[in-house]
Amino acid sequence: MHCLQKRSVAGRQMSHKSEMTEERQGKLPRRRKEVKRSLRRPDCPEHLSGGSVHWLPEHPGSEASASVEDTAESCPKRWDRCRRGHFLHGPYPATHFGPKACVLPNPTSVMHIQDPASQRLTWSKPPLNVLVIRKIRDETLLEPFKELCRFLVEEKHLMVYVEKKVVDDGSLMRDDSFSAIRNQLCTFREGFDDISDCIDLIICLGGDGTLLYASSLFQGSVPPVMAFHLGSLGFLTPFKFESFRTEVDKVFEGNAAIILRSRLKVKVVKGTFQKNEQLLSAQENGILPHNHINNEAGKITLQLQVLNEVVVDRGPSSYLSNVDLYLDGRLITSVQGDGVIVSTPTGSTAYAAAAGASMIHPNVPAIMVTPICPHSLSFRPIVVPAGVELMITLSPDARNTAWVSFDGRKRQEIQHGDSIKITTSCFPVPSICCHDLVYDWFDSLAQCLHWNVRKKQTRLTDASDSSETEN
């Protein structure tokens, strides 16, 4: 069997070589040579298109490889123009969430990008491992937490993961009726135990902070998140706990509506201090020096996935914050004020909204840049394409350092020569919708932010009605 396969392969190779020889001698018409393109980001999996445009030759000596070489030699200028750094639409989001969840494919769609309104959750295998995140230091959540764990362990026969500090809570330890369930819970510690490859579903009990914390635990693919509103603010938590059994059963059955909340991929690069004269000259022509863009002398000290926003502010200093904002390596503006917020559409209803930014639906692919109390009154918030790369550095004439935080966590100081690089991540947070992605968003605007709530204006009395009243 193996000999027959080798002979057939050798025969095809000889036939292909003879055809190529006859083509060169003019005996056969030359076939049309095609150049294959591929849209790829170097920081994303190969099947997630949305990055740099490259010419991809096949194996050396193949026809496609020869056509690429011919094109490069004959059209060098065109070859250079085909390479660009970023795709403005941003990376195509991952459609697999954790080990078993993925977006239900839509066979009736003729579009390459699926309509967000038609995105549904499906399971390749029944979910087995569930992570329950509970808001800590809130005694009112003890009973809902115990009720949910009993349901998942005794009725659904699932493996339930919780944080060790939650299980070690004194109130739970003293509850003898919960001891049997507590002994079956799997515990983990943040920063020590990696559970990113074993969780099938995340259930949050609390406010928006619980969902932000869940996002921080998964720096790659994020399992589907089901969030129950049991906190002070529930803009990202659409489910009510009273009907949790019915809602959880619907999710396990599949076909639940989901919304993919984009995240920001952030890198903090610690660089060497450069002379102010070099950076000032770079400001004049609007383009950073090459060594400063690539930070060849620096190193990446932190890389995070951020769901809401990156905040750069003046910290404890009494001076104005003075940072430079670059877009794809080109200086856009200098931000002088209390700071600047770079947020996702999900974060547009958080800190950015308090700073005067517009609220953007999470399905809009964009990055928001919002100044915090800018020194210039003409500096309004802006929205840029999701595929660009933003970079924030200290201005060379800044009087003090700056401070940066990521979703309100991991706050650290930024000094001269350091840079913060921000772009859209390939790994969104798949949030399960209670109704649908449009209704849930506007319902949150009305219920949590009291959007456009006012006393209605009364109508004017008609002139004919007033004359009849006088008579």
pLDDT at residue 283, rounded to an integer: 53
pLDDT in tens, 309-365: 999 999 999 999 999 999 999 999 999 999 999 999 999 999 999 999 999 999 999
Residue 93 has what pLDDT? 82
**Plot region of 338 (φ>0 → left; ψ -120 to 50 → alpha; else → beta):** alpha
Q: Does residue 16 lie within any of the structural domains?
A: no
**Whether residues 253 and 294 fall in one domain:** no
Residue 41 counted as domain residue: yes
Domain shared by 286 and 336, yes or no: yes
Instruction: Compare 380 and 295 and report the one with higher pLDDT.
Output: 380
Give me the mean pLDDT over the 172-183 stretch: 91
Give domain status of residue 186, yes or no: yes
Tell me, yes or no, whether 337 lies in a domain: yes
- Of 239, 261, 283, the one marking the end of a domain is 261
pLDDT band at 92 (very low <50, low <70, confident <90, very high): confident
- Residues 237 and 278 reside in one and the same domain: no
% of the chain surpassing 90 pLDDT: 56
Whether residues 105 and 224 fall in one domain: yes
- The answer to whether residues 40 and 131 belong to one domain is no
For residues 317 and 220, membership in a common domain is answered with no
Cβ within 8 Å of residue 447, ≥6 positions away = 234
Pick from 189, 122, 187, 126: nearest CA to 161: 187
208 catalytic per annotation: yes
- Report pLDDT digits (tens) over 238-270: 999 999 999 999 999 999 999 999 999 999 999
Closest CA to 251 of 239, 264, 269, 268: 239
Residues 395-446: tens digit of each pLDDT:
999 999 999 999 999 999 999 999 999 999 999 999 999 999 999 999 999 9
Angle between helices 244-253 and 142-150 (to 10 degrees): 40
* Together in a domain, 416 and 345: yes
pLDDT at 246: 95
Same domain, 111 and 226: yes
User: Which structural domain range is residue 105 located in?
Assistant: 96-261
On whether residue 1 sits in a domain, the answer given is: no
Say yes or no: 335 and 405 in one domain.
yes
| 31 has pLDDT over 50 | no
Distance CA(351)–CA(311), nearest Å, equals 9
Interval 44-66 mean pLDDT? 39
Q: How far apart are alpha carbons 407 and 261 in whole angstroms?
A: 14
Tell me: do 152 and 38 sit in the same domain: no
Is the pLDDT at 174 greater than 70, yes or no?
yes
- Catalytic residue, from 169, 200, 208, 324: name it: 208
253 and 375 belong to one structural domain: no
Q: Which two tokens stand for residue 21?
A: 């020889």
pLDDT digits (tens, 9 = 90+) for 71-86: 444 444 443 444 445 5
Q: Which 3 state secondary structure label does DSSP give 206?
A: strand
| 411 occurs within a structural domain | yes
Indicate the burial class of 113 (C-beta count within 10 angstroms; 0-12, 13-18, 19 or more): exposed
- Tokens 């709530």 label which residue? 453
Tokens 């502010």 locate to 313
CATH of the domain at 106: 3.40.50.10330
Strands (E), 245-401: 256-261, 264-270, 299-306, 309-313, 321-327, 330-343, 366-374, 382-385, 390-394
Pair 131, 118 in one domain:
yes
Is 394 among the domain residues? yes
Does 155 fall in a domain? yes
3-class SS of residue 373: strand
Count of domains observed in the chain: 3
Structure tokens at 298: 């620096």
* Chosen domain end from 261, 279, 314: 261
We report the CATH number of the domain holding residue 340 as 2.60.200.30
Residue type, 408: G
